[in-house]
C-alpha cells in the first residue's frame, strides 16, 4: 500500500492547502515561504482542477480498477531498446570493492561506425537507470545522439536499480544489509569501479562524464573523496546539479525537512530499506491509473509536484513507457541523505546520529565534502523552474568547486528537473549544448 499512501498524502495536502503555511512557519524564512507556498498552491490547484473536476466518483473508479486490472506494462530492458533502435549494444558487469555487482550498458558507435576515439560516460539520477538516455528513441536519446557523433558511450547503473540489483553476499529481496547505502557509497565505490572498467576496456586514459541530478551528487563525492579520479575526467557536465539544497522549493523535500523522525516516517510511508519497492500492487496501480486519460493527467501532475511545473514539455502519451521503467530502484537512505542536506544546509556525509558519527567521523556531526579538491573541469547546467536545484544553491556550488568552466542557464524559464531527460525539446535545448561542449573541450 506504499504508493496508495503517497497519493493519499498528496491529495490530503491539496484539500488542506493551509497545511503548507503551518509547516513553512516552523523554520524557513519569509521569502522562501512565500515562494514555496505559491508554487505548491498553484500545482495542487492544477492537480485538483484537471484531475477531479468530475467529482469523487473518478477517484473511486480509479481505485476500483486498480484491483480489477491485472495488465502490467511491459518493460523492455535497455539492451533491447537499443537493439530495436538499430544500434550496437554491449552489456558489461563489474563488482565494487564492497561486493555490489553493477551492470554497464555500452553503445560503442553509431549506425555509421563514425568514431571520435573518445569515451563518454553517462550517469543517471535517483530512482532512474541507463534507460534515461535511450527511452524515447534515437531522435530523443542523448546516448544515440552522442553515438552518432562518433563517441563511445557507456551508461552506468548504480547499486539498487533494476540492472545493478546483485551482490556477492546479500540478496536485495531478503537482506536488509544490501540497502544500507546512500549516494555516498555510489561516489566512493560505484563510480570508480565503472569508470575504471570503461577506461580499462577501451584503453583510454580519461573520459567525458555527463550526469543528471544524483549522477552529479555522486560525482562530487567521488572527485572530492578520491581526488585521483579527477585526472580521469576530461570534462564533467552537470545536468541539474544537486549538492546544496537549502533553497529547494520541492514540496517533497520541504515536507520531509519538517518531519521530526524522517527515518521512521519514510520507512512507514515508502519502505524500510528499499524506497518504493516494486510489487504486484504497485505495478497494477501505476499501470491502471496512468493508462486512462484521467490517470495520465494525474500521473503527470504528481511528477510536477515533486520536481516542477512544465506541462507542455511532457508528452502524456509517453507516461506508460515512463512508468514501465520508473522508479527503477533506490534505497530509502538515499532519500534521507538528501533530506539531511535540506535541514543542515551542508554538503556532507551521512548523519548516523551522534554516537555513530563519533565512531566514523570522530565528531558529532558528519564531515563535509571538500569541493575545492575537485580539479576536473566542470560545467553546470541548471534551470529556473527546477524545484530541486535552486539557482542560489547552484551559485554556491560553483563558488566552491575547484575548476568551474561554465555556468549555463537553460533558456526556457519553465524548464524543470526532469525536462533534462524527458522533455520534448531536450535534444535542441540541452543535448545540442552538450555536444557543443564536448566538441570544444
Q: What is the DSSP string of 204-265?
A: -S-EEEEEETHHHHHHHHHHHHSGGGGGGEEEEEEES--S--TT---HHHHHHHT-SSHHHH
Answer whether 212's CB lies under 8 Å from 386's CB.
no
Characterize 262-294 residue by residue with b for buried, 16 or more Cβ atoms within 10 angstroms of its Cβ, and e for exposed: beeebeebbbebbbbbeeeebbbbbbbbbbeeb
Contact between 218 and 249 (Cβ < 8 Å): no
Q: Does the annotation mark 105 as catalytic?
A: no
**From CA 22, how far away is CA 18, in angstroms rounded?**
7
For cell 503555511, the residue is 21
Active site residue 441: no
Instruction: Say which of 386, 393, 412, 419 is annotated catalytic.
Output: 386
DSSP letter, residue 75: -
Q: Is the backbone peptide bond immediately before 100 cis, with ω within 30 degrees of 0?
A: no
Query: Are residues 243 and 340 in contact, defined by beta-carbon separation less than 8 angstroms?
Result: no
* CA atoms within 13 A of residue 427's CA, in its CB half-sphere: 13
386 is catalytic: yes
Residues 397 and 403 sit within 8 Å (Cβ to Cβ): no
The active-site residue out of 213, 250, 257, 383 is 213
Which H/E stretch holds residue 154? strand 152-156
180 and 329 in contact (C-beta within 8 Å)? no
Structural contact between residues 141 and 434, judged by C-beta atoms closer than 8 angstroms:
no
**Active site members:** 213, 386, 417
Amino acid at each position: 500500500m506504499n504508493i496508495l499512501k503517497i497519493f493519499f498524502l498528496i491529495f490530503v495536502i491539496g484539500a488542506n492547502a493551509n497545511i503548507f503555511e503551518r509547516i513553512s512557519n516552523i523554520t524557513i524564512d519569509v521569502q522562501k515561504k512565500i515562494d514555496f507556498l505559491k508554487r505548491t498552491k498553484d500545482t495542487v490547484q492544477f492537480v485538483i482542477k484537471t484531475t477531479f473536476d468530475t467529482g469523487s466518483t473518478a477517484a473511486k473508479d480509479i481505485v476500483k480498477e486498480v484491483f480489477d486490472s491485472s495488465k502490467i506494462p511491459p518493460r523492455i530492458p535497455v539492451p533491447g531498446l537499443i537493439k530495436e533502435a538499430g544500434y550496437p549494444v554491449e552489456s558489461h558487469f563489474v563488482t565494487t570493492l564492497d561486493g555490489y555487482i553493477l551492470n554497464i550498458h555500452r553503445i560503442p558507435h553509431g549506425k555509421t561506425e563514425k568514431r571520435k576515439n573518445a569515451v563518454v560516460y553517462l550517469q543517471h539520477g535517483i530512482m532512474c537507470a541507463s534507460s534515461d538516455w535511450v527511452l524515447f528513441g534515437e531522435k530523443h536519446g542523448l546516448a544515440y545522439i552522442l553515438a552518432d557523433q562518433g563517441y563511445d558511450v557507456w551508461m552506468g547503473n548504480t547499486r539498487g536499480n533494476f540492472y545493478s540489483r546483485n551482490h556477492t553476499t546479500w540478496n536485495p529481496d531478503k537482506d536488509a544489509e544490501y540497502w544500507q547505502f546512500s549516494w555516498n557509497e555510489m561516489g566512493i565505490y560505484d563510480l570508480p569501479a565503472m569508470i575504471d572498467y570503461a577506461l580499462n576496456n577501451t584503453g583510454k586514459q580519461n573520459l567525458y562524464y555527463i550526469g543528471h541530478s544524483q549522477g552529479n551528487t555522486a560525482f562530487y563525492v567521488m572527485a572530492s573523496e578520491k581526488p585521483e579520479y579527477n585526472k580521469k575526467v576530461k570534462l564533467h557536465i552537470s545536468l541539474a546539479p544537486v549538492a546544496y539544497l537549502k533553497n529547494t522549493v520541492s514540496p517533497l523535500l520541504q515536507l520531509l525537512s519538517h518531519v521530526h523522525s524522517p527515518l521512521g516516517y519514510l520507512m512507514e510511508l515508502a519502505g524500510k530499506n528499499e524506497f518504493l519497492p516494486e510489487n504486484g500492487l504497485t505495478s497494477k496501480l501505476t499501470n491502471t491509473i496512468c493508462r486512462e486519460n484521467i490517470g495520465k493527467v494525474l500521473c503527470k501532475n504528481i511528477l510536477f509536484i515533486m520536481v516542477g511545473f512544465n506541462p507542455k514539455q511532457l508528452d502524456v502519451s509517453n507516461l506508460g513507457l515512463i512508468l514501465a521503467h520508473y522508479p527503477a530502484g533506490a534505497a530509502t537512505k538515499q532519500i534521507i541523505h538528501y533530506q539531511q542536506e535540506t535541514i543542515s544546509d551542508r554538503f556532507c556525509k551521512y548523519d548516523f546520529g551522534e554516537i555513530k558519527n563519533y565512531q566514523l567521523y570522530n565528531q558529532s556531526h558528519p564531515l563535509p565534502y571538500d569541493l575545492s579538491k575537485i580539479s576536473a573541469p566542470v560545467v553546470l547546467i541548471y534551470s529556473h523552474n527546477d524545484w530541486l536545484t535552486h539557482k542560489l544553491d547552484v551559485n554556491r556550488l560553483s563558488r566552491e568547486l575547484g575548476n568551474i568552466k561554465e555556468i549555463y542557464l537553460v533558456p526556457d524559464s519553465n524548464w524543470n528537473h526532469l525536462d533534462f531527460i524527458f522533455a520534448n525539446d531536450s535534444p535542441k535545448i540541452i543535448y545540442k549544448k552538450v555536444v557543443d561542449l564536448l566538441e570544444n573541450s
